Structure formats: structure tokens, C-alpha cells
Structure 1
Amino acid sequence: MQVSVGIFAHNEERTLARSIDAFLQQQLNEVKILEIIVVSCGSTDDTVGIARRFAERNAHIRVIDRPERQGKLAAINDFLAAATGQVVLIAGADLIPSDDLVERLVLPMSRDRDCAMTGPQVLSSGGRATMAGRLHSLLWRLHHEVALDRPKLGEIVAVRSSFLPHQLAAPVNCDEVLMEAEVIGAGGRLAYVPEAEVRNFPPDSVGELYGQRRRIACQHRVAAGLLAHRPATTHKRMVARAMGRLLRRKPGVLGDLVLLSGVEAVAQVRGRIDAYRGSTYQIWRPVVRDTSAHSSHVVYSGAEGEK
């Protein structure tokens, strides 16, 4: 199957080169990457310059420079208009994919015509010495546990182009949830692929983590009112089961889990208030992340032999 990769960036000069390089070095057997399209939205640093220098050396790389920030959905629509692959893969420029991620995400679609959207396991890179890093890693481990019961796809997603409209039009600024709804509405199936892995960077403080969770809570609340679809992580019973499984295997995380639950509870309340007041977070302040280390050690990893 042929894939168009979209990398979305706003002032990501610290991580963009690593992200592009990781996609250029993908191990591919049954899948072909036709193109890598970098979409920069209102970047004021060297993000566009880095992307263009890669494009000068590789004809498969293209750059779309959007001078103003108009929300990620607008950027995704520009990418969809330019992409030519049977599958579109949507990734943030602050993510580092494993060297077999594209192949692993696309193969389920080649083997099952009803499978139309896939997502990887997200692991936290670095930040293990800080409270924010531990909570961030624990949060994504809980996402993993929930997704094992019912797919909740995020950070990087691969979607069959034929299951998406030419332009995503709903005023929902949580793009993965909107695409999940589009795929399911068109009769497609979601698949969580934990063997595919992507690493992201933790917020540099608990305050940054709280701000991110508040925004997502607001976006989910707005989406719930507009779509006939709710992501798996908004179902309390699924989250409770995930917590229970994790505590049985790793009782030592109880303290961090209590703290994370407190942060999430406050973020949910404030996110609901934001939604009630008409906020949509179409454009939001980027999370300040700790990108100082790109470590292979992952706290609360979902992999075998976890530490």
C-alpha cells in the first residue's frame, strides 16, 4: 500500500529534523512511502528552513508553509488536498516514530478491507526524573491499557484516504476523534497496533500537563455534543478497569496514579466550564516540553520486561 506522511509543525525546530529523519529511515517491505509533506503553521523559528533543507536533498519531501495559525484541522485539510497515497499518516513534528512504525500501522489495512484507521502505542521519551515526566508516562500507559479493550488512537494515526472526506468540516478541534467518527460513520473499523511505537516528550512541568489535559477535556466535551462518537478514554468504566489492571501489576504507582487522577479531575471540571463558555481551542498555546533527552528508557512502558 502507498502512504502519504504528513508532519505538522508549529515552531518545532528542536525536534523536526529528528522526526523527518525517522520517517526517511523506515524499514519497509510491503508498504511504500510516496511522499512526506511537512505542514508548518505560522512558525517563527527555523522550522520551515529545516524542512526546506530536507526537501532540497530529497524529492519525496514537500513543504507547505501556512503563514498564519488557523487550527490543526485547516492544516490537515491542506495536507489531504496534497496527499496522493491510499493511506494518509498524520503525525506531529514533536514525535519520534520507531523504525517500523509505518509498516506496522498499514499492514492491518492491507489484510482487512474493513480496517480503515490505526494508531500506535505511545511511549514517553526522557523526563523520567521529574514529576511531570512520571505522570506523563503513566498517562500514556493508561491510554495503552484502555486501547487494548477498545481502540483509542492518537499522536500518530494512519487512515485509508477513501474513508475521509476531501475536507474535514466539522467544528471539532480534536482531529483524531473527528477522524475516528468519520471512519466509523463510513463503515470502517479502528485498530490499535501496540507493536507500532512512537515516542513523545513530556511537558516540562505539572502545570503544563494540566493545561494540556484541560484543553483536551474541553475539546472532547465539544466533540461529544457534535458527533455520535466518544473516544474510549472518556468512558469511566474503561478507565477504571485500566487503572485496576495497572495497579495489580505495579502497585508502586499508586501515589502517582492518585496525583494524576487529581490533575485530571480538575482539568475535566475546568474543561467543561471552558466548553460551556464557548471555547473550542481551535488554536492553543503549544505545550512546553522537555526535549533535552531522547532516551530509550521509558517509565511505565507497555513493553515486556517493563521497569
Structure 2
Amino acid sequence: MKVSIGIFAHNEEHTVGRAIEAMLAQEPEQAKILEIFVLSCASTDSTVAAAEAYARHDARLTVVNRPKREGKLAAINDFLARATGDVLVIAGADLVVAPGLVERLVEPMRRDPRCGMTGPRIATHGTAGLTGRMHDLLWRMHHEIASMQPKLGEVVALRREFVPEGLPTGIHCDEVVMEAEVIRRGGLLAYVSEAEVRNFPPSDVREFYGQRRRIACQHRAADRRLSYRPATLRKRNVVRAALNVVREDPGRVLTLASLCGVELAARMQGAIDERRGRTYQVWSPVLREVRVNATQPN
């Protein structure tokens, strides 16, 4: 299968190099990486210069400098218009992907032509402090939920035939929009827990809360306009995931209580934001605890 990769960035000078290196190092046996696009949306730091340094040494890599911030969905549609692959891998520049990621994400599509979208398991870099522990627990619960009912995020692979005209605009939660579009066209979602991506925790609780509030608002908009709710909004899934993680590690109960408090407040405020017409089409990047020497996942 022929693969095109899109890496999306806004002021990611500290992480874009690692994101590019991890993608360039992918060596799938059952797929061919045709091209890698780095789409920088109105970055004001050295993101573009850092990406262009890699492009000078690998012909597959193209840097697209978008002068205006029009939202991530607009940037994804720009990528879709440029990409020539059968499978489209969409990733953020603030992530580090594990070796073999592309191979593993493509495999379910190779086996079943009905599979339209796949996503990996998300692990985290660093869990120190309350924010780090909540961030880590959030993604541990995400894994539990996605294992019951696919909920894909951070990095996804999308079969091109399920988005022939691009993605619908007006809702700014890209993975949820892609899930809804694939399902609307009769496709299947697949969670690939063997594939792994690492991300970095927000720098403090305020940043964490702001991120969860924005996502809650976007999920409400998707529910209202697309009649689609991701698996993480189904109460039964959340309760089962919480019970599973506490059974596995009872010492996490206090972190779970803190996470539930933050998430409840964020969902309430996100609902208010959505009713007031806030879209979060663009938003300030989350300040993260980025460890310069963090290693790639095994």
C-alpha cells in the first residue's frame, strides 16, 4: 500500500525534528512511504527552518509553510489535496512515533478493505507531578476504552477512498470528524494497540484543563452537527475503564479523583462554550513538559 504522511505543526521548534526523524526511520515491508509533508501553520519560531534542514537531505520530505492559521482541519484538507498515497497518516509535530508504526497501522487495512481508519496506543513521556500523573492516567483510560470500542487519536491512518472530497469543515475536532466520515461511508475503525506513539504532558494543571475544555467543546459540536459521539463520551465505557485502571493499580485512586474533577469541570465549561458559539478553530499550543533528551519508544 502506498502511504503519504502529513506532520502538522505550529511553533513546534523543540519537537518537530524528532517527529520528522521518527517518520523518516519508518521502514514498512508491506507498504511504501511515497512522501512526507510537514505543514507549518503560521509558525513564528524556527519550525520551518528546522523542517527544511531535513528536507534538504531526503527527497521524500516537503515543507509547506501556510501563512495563515485557519484551523487544523483546513491544514489537513490541504494535505489531502497534495497527497498521492492510498493511505494517509496524519500526525502532530509534538509526538514521537515508535519504530514499525506505519507497518502496524496499515496492516488492518491490508487485511480488510472495509477498514477505513486506524490509530495507535498513546503512551506518555514523563509522569512527574499531579499534571503528569493525570495525563498518564487519561491516556491509560483511553487505551482501556479504545480496546472496548475504537477511539482513535494523536496519530491516525486513513484510507483515501473514505475521504475523496476531503473532510467536512465547521467542526474542529479532526479525529472525531474523520471517524464520523469513515463510519458514514460504511467503513470500520480499528485500534492497533501494538503500534505506539508517545506524547508529552501539559506543563501544569491550567494547561491541562484548557486542553480538556477545548476538546469538550469540540466534541459537543460534533455531537450536535454530525450526530456522532466518540467512544470516550459513553458513560459505560468511562466507568469500565476507571474500574479497570484502579483494579490494576489501587494507588491511582487519588489521581483518578483529581482527573474526574478536572474532566467534569472542563466538560461543563466546554458545553457552555459550545452554546455560546465558540469553535476553537485555532487555539494556542499547549505548553508541554518537553524533555529534550527523551528517547523514542521501544
TM range (shorter): over 0.9
Equivalent residue for 2:264?
265
- Aligned equivalents of 1:157, 1:268: Cα separation in 2: 24
Q: Indicate yes or no: 2:7 matched with 1:7.
A: yes
Q: CA distance change for structure 1 residues 293 and 251 in 2, over 3 Å: closer, same or farther?
A: farther
The 3-state SS of whatever aligns with 1:14 is: coil
- Aligned equivalents of 1:155, 1:294: Cα separation in 2: 21
Equivalent residue for 1:53?
53
- Aligned equivalents of 1:158, 1:87: Cα separation in 2: 6
Equivalent residue for 1:70?
70
Structure 1 residue 228 displacement after superposition: 2.7
Equivalent residue for 1:130?
129
Question: What are the within-5 Å matches in structure 2 for residues 32-43 of structure 1?
Answer: 32-43=32-43
- Aligned equivalents of 1:99, 1:157: Cα separation in 2: 15
Once superposed, what is the RMSD of the aligned Cα atoms?
A: 1.4
TM-score of the pair, normalised by structure 1: 0.95
Does the 8 Å contact 2:38/2:64 carry over to 1? yes
**Structure 1: gaps of 5 or more residues:** none
Cα deviation 1:269-288 (Å, max 9, x = unaligned): 10000001000100111100
Does the 8 Å contact 1:218/1:272 carry over to 2? yes
Q: Indicate yes or no: 2:217 matched with 1:218.
A: yes
- Amino acid corresponding to residue 84 of structure 1 in structure 2: T
Equivalent residue for 1:116?
116
The 3-state SS of whatever aligns with 1:267 is: helix
**Structure 2: gaps of 5 or more residues:** none
Equivalent residue for 2:192?
193
- Aligned equivalents of 2:135, 2:141: Cα separation in 1: 10
Identity %: 56
The 3-state SS of whatever aligns with 1:88 is: strand
- Aligned equivalents of 1:177, 1:169: Cα separation in 2: 11
Does the 8 Å contact 2:73/2:169 carry over to 1? no
The 3-state SS of whatever aligns with 1:243 is: helix
Does the 8 Å contact 1:211/1:267 carry over to 2? yes
TM-score of the pair, normalised by structure 2: 0.97
Does the 8 Å contact 1:233/1:239 carry over to 2? yes
Question: What is the count of residue pairs matched by the alignment?
Answer: 298
- Aligned equivalents of 1:14, 1:178: Cα separation in 2: 28
Equivalent residue for 1:288?
287
Q: Indicate yes or no: 2:14 matched with 1:19.
A: no
- Amino acid corresponding to residue 88 of structure 2 in structure 1: V
